[in-house]
């Protein structure tokens, strides 16, 4: 059963009299479990929909509509699938006490992997889930492999019953499912020969594995430092070498780069980022893989739309990691817009200075950085630092921050989103 949370005006749902609180029970006799069932089972032109109205009345509707016309309901969010692992590097273990409850949930959900590109380990799948992945062709999936060696993988996941990943992927691949994969590199565990073997086995698996990224493990002040550590510059350089070797094989064999390092890996290694061409579709840009090159490309593509900024002073608030790479983006942006950009790297006061990602910056730290800055025309804040409810990780709201600093603030994920409309003169 799925509960309706909103009915769009002038939609099929409003014509039928569905309303907030209506329970969607089945489509064509198939019980509904979540948004996946709803989307896939209602994709037909003709459907039989069984609902229970908030007053308890059950009704069946025969619906016939042009293909693609939505029914017009908002659905309650699916209950997130909990993770079956206990990785030493888990972000949840690295959280301080006192944050929003939802942040302490370890999610590992193949549905969100398909829908949003969240990485999942597939260690909590039941036969029913496997059947749905195949039936609904949930492809591509984003999979955290970490290591193909089952012993190493189980150790990393702290899950002695984790199924072997390669046979699991094989089963899905035989039904047409493809994968983007990642390896979170934990030094001394899955780097070196283990990394070489993992990259080789994933590549040799065949084209169903579309690519593999290597991301250095990231920790906060609160993480389990007695069990896991971040890689050194030398260890990152060694990983880049293995990635380059595998990428050369992939280019020769399949004409694609296939193996990638996260921007963070290059940053820690002190090695220049690869050129944009290697990332092809930027499939893992949300995972920090090719983000800087993607930004540069994006800005160049829409440069004509970024007018009206000549002489303006714009602050770019970001984490200390991105701040090191940001000049590569701000230089072209300056020449395109004629604005003056000031980079404001903000130290993470909630998780400690080792957490350098912009997306985890607390609102209070950014607020402090912008206090008294009347000289600025605009301040750009990292778009990924705010959730769907407009809250930063420390629960400060964007509205509160905006009203407490003397400069207009805008969220931005790629500059273009925030600079299309100039600030008022």
Strands 141-144 and 409-412: unpaired
Of residues 48, 59, 80, 92, which one binds ligand SF4 by CB under 6 A? 92
Question: With CB under 6 A as the contact rule, which of the stretches 78-86, 198-206, 257-265, 367-375 interacts with ligand SF4?
Answer: 78-86
Under the criterion CB under 6 A, does residue 280 sit at the interface with ligand SF4?
no
Backbone angles phi, psi at 120, to 5 degrees: -125, 150
Distance of CA 185 to the CA centre of its chain: 18
Is residue 222 within 8 Å of 94, Cβ to Cβ?
A: yes
Neighbour count for residue 375 (Cβ, 10 Å): 10
The residue among 92 and 249 lying less far from ligand SF4, judged by its C-beta, is 92
Of residues 23, 37, 108, 235, which one binds ligand SF4 by CB under 6 A? 108
The residue among 23 and 108 lying less far from ligand SF4, judged by its C-beta, is 108
CB within 8 Å of 146: residues ≥ 6 apart: 152, 153, 156, 157, 182, 183, 184, 186, 190, 198
Backbone angles phi, psi at 42, to 5 degrees: -95, 10
Distance of CA 341 to the CA centre of its chain: 27
The residue among 184 and 366 lying less far from ligand SF4, judged by its C-beta, is 184
From the list 85, 159, 150, 160, the residue with the least C-alpha distance to 120 is 85
**Helix (H) or strand (E) run with residue 412 in it:** strand 409-412
* Minimum separation from the CB atom of position 209 to ligand SF4 (A): 19
- Helix, strand or coil, per DSSP, at residue 24: strand
Under the criterion CB under 6 A, does residue 377 sit at the interface with ligand SF4?
no
Distance of CA 224 to the CA centre of its chain: 23
Angle at 148 between CA 145 and CA 153, to 5 degrees: 70
Under the criterion CB under 6 A, does residue 121 sit at the interface with ligand SF4?
yes
Q: What residue has token string 């047409």? A: 176
* Minimum separation from the CB atom of position 156 to ligand SF4 (A): 8
* Minimum separation from the CB atom of position 107 to ligand SF4 (A): 6
Of residues 27, 83, 250, 326, which one binds ligand SF4 by CB under 6 A? 83
Compose the 173-212 pattern: x for residues touching ligand SF4 by CB under 6 A, - for all others: ----------------------------------------
Total length of the chain? 425
Under the criterion CB under 6 A, does residue 90 sit at the interface with ligand SF4?
yes
Under the criterion CB under 6 A, does residue 115 sit at the interface with ligand SF4?
no
* Minimum separation from the CB atom of position 106 to ligand SF4 (A): 4
**Binding footprint of ligand SF4, residue count (CB under 6 A):** 9
The residue among 141 and 366 lying less far from ligand SF4, judged by its C-beta, is 141
Of residues 85, 190, 223, 356, which one binds ligand SF4 by CB under 6 A? 85
**Helix (H) or strand (E) run with residue 173 in it:** helix 165-173
Residues forming contacts to ligand SF4 in the complex (CB under 6 A) are: 83, 85-87, 90, 92, 106, 108, 121
């Amino acid at each position: 059963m799925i509960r309706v949370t909103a009915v769009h005006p002038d939609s099929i749902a409003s014509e039928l009299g569905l309303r907030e609180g209506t329970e969607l029970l089945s489509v064509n006799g198939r019980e509904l479990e979540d948004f996946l069932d709803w989307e896939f089972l209602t994709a037909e032109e003709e459907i039989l929909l069984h609902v229970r109205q908030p007053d308890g009345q059950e009704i069946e509707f025969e619906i016939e509509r042009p293909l693609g016309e939505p029914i017009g309901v908002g659905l309650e969010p699916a209950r997130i699938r909990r993770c079956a692992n206990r990785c030493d590097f888990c972000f949840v273990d690295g959280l301080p006490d006192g944050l929003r409850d939802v942040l302490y949930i370890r999610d590992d959900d193949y549905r969100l992997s398909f829908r949003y590109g969240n990485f999942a380990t597939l260690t909590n799948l039941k036969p029913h889930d496997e059947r749905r992945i195949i039936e609904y062709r949930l492809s591509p999936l984003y999979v955290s492999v970490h290591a193909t060696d089952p012993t190493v993988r189980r150790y990393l996941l702290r899950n002695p019953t984790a199924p072997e990943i390669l046979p699991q992927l094989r089963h899905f691949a035989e039904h047409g499912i493809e994968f983007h994969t990642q390896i979170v590199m934990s030094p001394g565990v899955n780097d070196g020969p283990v990394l070489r073997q993992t990259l080789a086995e994933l590549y040799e698996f065949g084209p169903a594995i579309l690519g593999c990224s290597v991301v250095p493990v990231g920790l906060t002040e609160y993480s389990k430092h007695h069990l896991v550590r971040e890689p050194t510059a030398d260890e990152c350089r060694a990983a880049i070498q293995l990635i380059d070797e595998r990428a050369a094989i992939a280019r020769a064999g399949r004409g694609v780069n296939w193996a990638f390092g996260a921007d963070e890996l290059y940053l820690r290694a002190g090695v220049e980022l690869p050129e944009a061409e290697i990332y092809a579709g930027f499939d893992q840009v949300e995972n920090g893989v090719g983000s800087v090159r993607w930004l540069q490309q994006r800005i160049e593509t829409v440069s004509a739309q970024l007018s009206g900024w000549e002489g303006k002073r714009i602050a770019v608030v970001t984490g200390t990691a991105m701040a090191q790479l940001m000049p590569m983006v701000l230089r072209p942006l300056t020449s395109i817009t004629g604005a003056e950009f000031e980079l404001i790297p903000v130290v993470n006061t909630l998780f400690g200075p080792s957490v350098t990602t912009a997306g985890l910056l607390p609102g209070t730290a950014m607020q402090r950085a912008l206090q008294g800055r009347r000289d600025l025309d605009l301040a750009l804040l990292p778009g990924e630092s705010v959730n769907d409810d407009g809250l930063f990780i420390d629960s400060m709201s964007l509205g509160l921050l905006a009203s407490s600093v003397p400069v207009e603030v805008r969220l931005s994920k790629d500059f273009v989103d925030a600079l299309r409309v100039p600030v008022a003169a």
